[in-house]
Amino acid sequence: MYTYQTQRTCSRSIDFDVVDGKVRDVDFVGGCDGNTKGIAKLVEGRPVEEVIECLEGIDCRGRGTSCPDQLARALKLVLDQQS
């Protein structure tokens, strides 16, 4: 299980796991409850690289990032650690 401290978003952190290259058990701490639950459901069981490709670069209100983008950044860190 991983915990990623988010930056410049309403969520404070993201807890998630990666099992056999797939995203599992995503839980945003804070943030827009319905939106973050929706993101978590949509990425569940999908390959890490696919999730990164879909979510990377999404901006929220000119912040330069968003909760989905922060998840992509967290997943990229996991990939870097596994290399």
pTM: 0.96
Measure the CA–CA gap between 72 and 50, rounded to whole angstroms: 10
Measure the CA–CA gap between 18 and 26, rounded to whole angstroms: 9
Q: So what's the pLDDT on residue 79?
A: 94
The predicted-structure confidence for 17-60, as pLDDT tens digits, reads as follows 999 999 999 999 999 999 999 999 999 999 999 999 999 999 99
The predicted-structure confidence for 59-69, as pLDDT tens digits, reads as follows 999 999 999 99
Q: How does DSSP assign 40-69, residue by residue?
A: HHHHTT-BHHHHHHHHTT--STTSS--HHH
